[in-house]
Chains A and B, each alone.
Chain A
């Protein structure tokens, strides 16, 4: 989004290196993410795009052998700082995973999970409202409003993924990270999610990792191309897809490798 013609930068990654044990997975990544836009990260399998995504909400902390170096500024605050509260960070930066992973609880409990652990809702009524608005924003409300107290694992794959999106937006995050959110879904469910992404970007900054070039072209405004742990090229999606600077990008997008 441009304010007075100036790009608003939400996330600023500076010289990020990631190591799995001794193996370096990301080399010197510097990337700016625009606010209220969809940024797609593309690249062949194992290129480090998911690893980079997981740096942004410090999900790599979960992996014992993983270490992250460099600065990642979100709202000008370095999240790799010791003073960063991971719980608050993840409240602000939601995540949707490759495989739908609803908790084995009811739909209602799935969506109210975040608000509960962050103590957002003051009353049952407020919680009901949060659940309803989150499900509505995730375009799932109409389908499930009569069975909120049934297990979330009983939904179809596409519905489960929208439930996970509802769960992620229930705490009103500023950024939503999506790690190949459609790769386990059929084309119809994929189309629904893509539509949803377009809607969500009004209120959230979205970063999506995808294997589908077509999807990147459809949903994103900016694109970054990763290859072998390096950010080869990034810029507006139009430019990357129509007139890339780098030969590798050109080859990947035209399907010559990857």
Chain B
């Protein structure tokens, strides 16, 4: 029913567009000057047709269930039920009305189910009536305005402005919502685990929290030495560091090659090929690291008499570095290419060679942008999950040996949230605390990166 109504509104919207435009042509044929191009008349009518209808439609969708529930449950209001019990009754009612009820059917619930169904059908029909009358009223109003040739361009432009504003607002509100959901859980977490223990504790062992019997009262002391985040922060930065050791030199050099040395033909093929690397799903990198690179490193290490874990930070970091290469090479290629040709000419005309020009003029000029691209690469490295989960293990060792396994913030969040979770448990909340700290770290990095890039832009524009 909703779908039919929805389609109907959309169709009406399109139809009114054509009517509006036709009206404009009619006005034009009377030698009157239009106040806007004919399609604006169409848009104007279509907007007036569809928008009020959609607003009523969505308000209805939001409030109908609540109102129906209130009315159905009003029968039980004086019988001393608790809220939870009322909710249960309502769920039973709904199930029964759908014919999916399997428990014992009481006359009370049967009566409620009937009431529920009749209320729903009243709601449906009144919705259709109200939406249709809204359409008729608003279209009539808009058609009158069009006929009197009043302005249509400004309202349409304003409407588009509002639509675009809503879109960006939605993106911003989502971000805010996510941050808030993180904040509240994080605060709950720090009520049990002292912030100091989290930030400076050197022992991360969330599995310990599994053994708690959830019926027991929460005893914070049992969590001491469980949620010390130092090892996983260290692991995160360590693996990111290894990744950047791979990605920065290779990415930068290939970026410079593409921008300055490669012929047009080579560049035409090489650039998309490098960018394909960015399109490979990280889980594929993950099993490449876990099944190919990890065992290879272990064998190599063993043959050299080193003890290498099959899941090593080196394997994860190295493969992560390869994943980041296209970001750095592509961005630095763009930055270098956007250095004005006049600077290159100036340097060549002084007798500088290509490499001198790159080293002394182009690289310094592009440096802010290159730093920006590197920082974006770093925040990707820090946020990367799959490769670490698959290739570097889940044990949060505090180590600086790249041949041992270590773990990162994101990998630990995965560990914590896989399988059964009890909400309100410090173990689950730890994931939020980790997520929050990760968010703060990458946020800072992104702010720095954006600032640097902005500073670079000011220089040439």
Contact = CB atoms under 8 A, between A and B. Distances in A.
On whether the two chains bind one another, the answer is yes
B351 A101 contact: no
A101 B352 contact: no
Contacts, number: 69
- The majority secondary structure among interface residues of chain B is helix
Interface stretch (B75-83, B283-291, B358-366): B358-366
Interface string A82-121: 0000111111001101010111110000000110011000
A114 B345 CA distance: 13
B345 A86 contact: no
Nearest to B368: A104
Contacts of A164: 346
A206 interface: no
Interface in B333-349: 340, 342-349
A11 B263 CA distance: 33
Nearest to B345: A97
A97 B342 contact: yes
Q: Which of A103, A114, A118, A164 has the most CB of B within 10 A?
A: A103
Nearest to A115: B350
A119 to B, nearest CB: 11
B360 A117 contact: yes
Given A101-B342, A101-B343, A113-B360, A94 B349 contact: yes
B264 A117 contact: no
B356 interface: yes
Contact of B263 (A59, A64, A113, A168): A64
Given A59-B345, A117-B356, A153-B459, A101 B340 contact: yes
Contacts of A62: 344-345, 348
Contacts of B352: 87, 113, 117
Contact of A86 (B340, B351, B364): B351
A167 interface: yes
Contacts of A64: 263-264
A88 B351 contact: yes
A36 interface: no
A94 B345 CA distance: 11
Contact of B351 (A91, A99, A104, A105): A91
Given A64-B263, A104-B365, 19 more contacts: A59-B348, A59-B349, A62-B344, A87-B351, A90-B351, A91-B351, A95-B345, A97-B349, A99-B342, A101-B343, A103-B346, A103-B347, A103-B365, A104-B459, A105-B364, A113-B347, A113-B360, A117-B360, A167-B346
List 3 tightest A-B contacts by C-beta distance, closest first.
Answer: A90-B351, A101-B342, A95-B349
